[in-house]
Amino acid sequence: MTTLPNLPTADFTFDPHQLGACVAGLRPYRVGSYRLEGEVLAGKYVIHNYGHGGGGITLSWGCAAKVRDMVLRRQAATNVVEREVAVLGAGVMGLTAATLLVDLGLHVTIYSDRKPAETTSYKAGGQWAVSILEFSKEFAKVQEMQYILRVAYTMFKASIGKGYGVSEVDNYSVNATSGIDVVHDLVPGLLPQREYLPRLPFEGHSTSGYRYRTLLVEPPIFIPRLERDLKARGVTFVNRKFINSADVLTSLTQKVVINCTGLGAKNLWNDPDMLPLRGQLAMLRPQPNLEYLYGQNGYLFPRNDHVVIGGTVEETCDETFDPDRCLELVRYMAGVFGQVPPEPMPEFSVHHPRNEPLVDPRMSIAF
């Protein structure tokens, strides 16, 4: 068993009223499962790829590969290659799907009512973990998930050091129930094994915990990089808000449509299973001496742009942040590291990442 010397502690100085200090985003959570399937509607082949909750960055390349495979299968089945493809959505799902479709030599246009830097994807914390996400336990769906995880992890890992904001990091966690364990269970051997530590190596800690090895994908680097690459390869971004599915089906000329509208699919495709789960983040100044992730009833992710403290879940469609709540989150985390007297866990915080399906998120907000 390893006993490690203490790692550096964050400077928790935080002014929630400073510009950019607080961020809120709505996770596109789908009860039962994310949606990844194709259907033929009004002569168009529509592939839905939305509802990835708190794990969309993680799954993105894998889901994009499934979308590509579906397009190829459709081409083979119909013996027709439709060269023009419409991708709806400029978040991580739309951008990664578009990338793999351009790889096939297809001409892709991205339609979105937000710029990539305004999407939920841009606001994500960025840990590679299956978090706040439901997926079906049916055999075929488990196999699909295994494929998605394998492809996504392999692609992210291959992009380390190439300007995509991806790095390999340790995550120290008090509890063993983490979204990384889901990956260990589903695809044994994909990630390095977790390690039990008799004491977590931090000031203010006397309890045992675990060290995981995973990836950090920094959205403020990853998302603009995908956008730049796509534009350089001739992809056009069109600012457009669709009202409903009929609007999509009648106004677009493309015969292949990839629906990556995240939470927007709730109204656009009339999907009652979509729920907005707000996450609030406190953004501390960047601290390059911190080279680890940390999780306990909330998380601390040191990134190049900020040290991000988050892990809250609230069911609401209000996308605004609450400075007092963000301050509460920072004080809680500072208490965990012995920098201020311990504060009670904010009631809206959850252990992140989590691996239990949220059957009813209203029941599982405080746990």
Nearer to ligand FAD, 45 or 269 (CB): 269
Long-range contacts of 329-336 (CB under 8 A, 24+ apart): 329/280, 329/282, 329/298, 330/12, 330/14, 330/16, 330/282, 330/284, 331/12, 332/297, 332/298, 333/10, 333/12, 333/298, 333/300, 333/309, 334/12, 335/204, 336/204, 336/205, 336/296
The interface with ligand FAD within residues 105-144 (CB under 6 A) comprises 111-114, 119-121, 123-127, 131
Q: Is 152 in the site for ligand FAD (CB under 6 A)?
A: no
Burial group, residue 234, by CB count within 10 angstroms (0-12, 13-18, 19+) = exposed
Residue closest to 364 by CA, chosen among 321, 326, 315: 315
Contact track, ligand FAD, 302-331, x by CB under 6 A: --------x---------------------
Question: Can you say how many angstroms the Cα of residue 237 is from the centroid of all Cα atoms in its chain?
Answer: 22
Distance, CA of 308 to CA of 285 (rounded, Å): 9
Contact positions with ligand FAD (CB under 6 A) in 342-361: none
Query: Measured from the CB of residue 334, what is the shortest distance to ligand FAD in angstroms?
Result: 20
Residue closer to ligand FAD (CB basis): 204 or 352: 352
Decide if residue 284 touches ligand FAD (CB under 6 A).
no
Q: Are the C-beta atoms of 316 and 310 separated by less than 8 Å?
A: no
CB atoms within 10 A of CB 244: 11
Contact flags string 174-213 toward ligand FAD, x per CB under 6 A: ----------------------------------------
Contact 343, 332 (CB under 8 A): yes
Q: How many residues bind ligand FAD (CB under 6 A)?
A: 43
Using the minimum distance from each CB to ligand FAD, give the nearer residue, 89 or 209.
89
Contact 197, 1 (CB under 8 A): yes
Task: Indicate which single residue of 86, 87, 98, 268 sits in contact with ligand FAD (rule: CB under 6 A).
Answer: 268
Residue numbers 53-72 binding ligand FAD by CB under 6 A: 53-58
Q: Which is nearer to ligand FAD, 16 or 56 (CB)?
A: 56
Q: Which residue is nearest to ligand FAD (CB)?
A: 264
Rule CB under 6 A: is residue 50 a binding residue for ligand FAD? yes
Instruction: Name the residues that contact ligand FAD, by CB under 6 A.
Output: 25, 27-28, 50, 52-58, 88-94, 111-114, 119-121, 123-127, 131, 240-242, 260-264, 268, 279, 281, 310
